[in-house]
Amino acid sequence: MRENLTHLLTRYRRAFSEFSNGQKAVAIVGTGALLLAAFLVFRWVSAPTYAPLYTNLQSSDASSVIDELNKEGIKYKLAANGSTIEVPQNAVYSTRISLSGKNLPAGNSAEDGGYTLLDNQSLSTSDFQEQTNFKRAMEGELDKTLEAMTGVQTAVVHLAIPEKQVFSDEQDPTTAAVLLQLDTGTTLSAQQVQAVVHLVASSIDGLDPGDVTVTDQNGNVLSAPANADGTSAASTQSQQTEDFENDMKTEVQQVLDKVVGAGNATANVTANLNFDQKTTDTLTYGKATTVPSLSDTKSTEKYQGPASGASAVGGVVGPDGQMDSTTTGGSGNSTYTKNNVTSDNGVDQTRQHTVTAPGAVQNIHIGAVIDSAAIGAISPAQVKQLIASSLGINAARGDTIDVTTMPFNKTAAQAAAKELATAQAAADHAKRMKLIRDLGLGAIVALIILLAWLRARRRTKAREDATSYVVEQLRADAEARAAALEAVSNPALAALEAAEESEAENLRQELNELVDQQPEDVATLLRGWLVERPR
């Protein structure tokens, strides 16, 4: 084995010494590249795959976990600004079990809030301590709930719950302050902020959404209750008006771009919105003629007696109850009949309570300018009519549209387009050069491989030619000796022939081994023989 290795190294050293300087450089660079690639592949294969052990850790918990991992000699990596700890994938579950036995991380312990604060209540706990623990528990639960939202890294909630006033008509309102630490580059939308406000307000009894203040880690107020002067409400109204105007402007611009092309028109929209909330109560009475009455009453009165002026007995009641009789003279009789009909009908009542939401559009004013060089045969009146029909402009409401044409100054746009074209040309040139470089390197590598293959092929052919030549020479010598031995009939010569044949066979085997082990040396020797043979 040792001799074969020594012989192999000797052959490689001899072959390398026959290379030219360029071939030697290529061989050294190629061998180094192969070794480097093998090292990188081995390192990539042997490197462990990391998986998250814990995420969204507090700094104190992360420090405790890292100390324990260092004690146990477990490799780890930090991610997400230190709030996520990663360990090798095959050690995730065992590491979690080991750390949980040591109460790590302690983020869910009673010290950090949550309903676990209420687990250790005793009979000696005062009412103040009980209320304080309840407030801390609610704050801790809200913290963990808000941290579950996408983009929120850490949340801190402070509740101000006033004591209940039993003998007072007025109760101080419950308020809340929320501090959010957002992920880098994350901005909460207005809808997400409202979600935070309503989530906190719905979790606390008696908490109005208007009494919740939300801020971020930079001190920006995301949502705040309205002040006495209505500052917050005015800010909200201004934002709503601006959003409405931007939406209308986008629609107008889309119409103009389709008519005259992009960049040939611009528009501006001013809207007046009514943010007054209006409540209307209406009570209407009606009667259904087809519905029968609830009750009917009929009465009839008839009279028959002396007419006016006839004699009658009457008088005034005296103090003893007797009546003084008086007699009036007269003659004739009187008769009459009186009928009375009363019907009770049901009355329909319609009560309507209407609340008009704030934000109704009072009027819209649209101004559009079109490049006179791009409008062509289209008239401004046609564009005006198209915008009015597309956006539902109501002239009776006070909406106005103004469309004018004038030449546009496109110097800045042309300069920007030229810069973009130059930058694109530079990028295309860089791509072409990179492609040419890659193709050149590929061609060089292919040429080197082709040259190496051709050289190896020439060596193989030379080895085969040398072997064939030696074998033919040996065969010719053997045939010559065999012919000479056949001419002699002496038994001694026959024995000599057998010995010579055995020697020739041994020599043939040695030559074959020599050709296999040192083909270059044999080829060089044969080339020397071929050159010297004509002499």
Of 52-66, 163-177, 408-422, 496-510, the poorest mean pLDDT is in: 496-510
Beta strands in 275-359 (DSSP E): 278-286, 295-306, 313-314, 326-327, 333-344, 348-356
Instruction: List CB contacts of 9: < 8 A, sequence separation 6 or more.
Output: none
Cα–Cα distance, 190 to 236 (Å, whole number):
10
Cα–Cα distance, 26 to 329 (Å, whole number):
163
Of 201-210, 234-243, 263-272, 396-405, the poorest mean pLDDT is in: 234-243
Instruction: List CB contacts of 513: < 8 A, sequence separation 6 or more.
Output: none
Beta-bridged to residue 54, according to DSSP, are 85
Question: Token digits for 16?
Answer: 């390398």
Helix 519-532 and helix 2-17: axis angle, to 10°?
50
pTM: 0.41
- Please give the average per-residue pLDDT across 131-152, as a whole number: 86
Cα–Cα distance, 92 to 75 (Å, whole number):
11
Task: Report residue 17 CA to chain centroid gap.
Answer: 62
Top mean pLDDT of 1-15, 230-244, 343-357 is at 343-357
Instruction: List CB contacts of 309: < 8 A, sequence separation 6 or more.
Output: 328, 329, 330, 331, 332
Task: Report the pLDDT value the prediction gives residue 311, as an integer from 0 to 100.
Answer: 47
What's the half-sphere exposure (Cβ side, CA atoms, 13 Å) at 150? 2
Cα–Cα distance, 269 to 208 (Å, whole number):
35
Task: Report the pLDDT value the prediction gives residue 270, as an integer from 0 to 100.
Answer: 92
Task: Report the pLDDT value the prediction gives residue 81, as an integer from 0 to 100.
Answer: 77
pLDDT at 14 over 50: yes
**pLDDT tens string 55-112:** 777 777 888 888 889 988 888 888 877 778 888 888 888 888 888 777 777 654 444 5
Top mean pLDDT of 109-118, 259-268, 406-415 is at 259-268
Of 62-71, 131-140, 499-508, the poorest mean pLDDT is in: 499-508
Helix H, strand E, coil C: the string for 258-270 is HHHCCCCEEEEEE
pLDDT at 495 over 70: no
Distances (CA, A) of 97 to 53, 104, 200: 11, 10, 34
**pLDDT tens string 344-365:** 777 777 888 888 777 788 899 9
Comparing 101 with 485, the larger pLDDT belongs to 101
Cα–Cα distance, 250 to 244 (Å, whole number):
10
| Surface-to-core class of residue 501, CB atoms within 10 Å of its CB (0-12 exposed, 13-18 middle, 19+ buried) | middle
Contact between 275 and 287 (Cβ < 8 Å): no
Task: Report the pLDDT value the prediction gives residue 368, as an integer from 0 to 100.
Answer: 93
Task: Report the pLDDT value the prediction gives residue 445, as an integer from 0 to 100.
Answer: 84
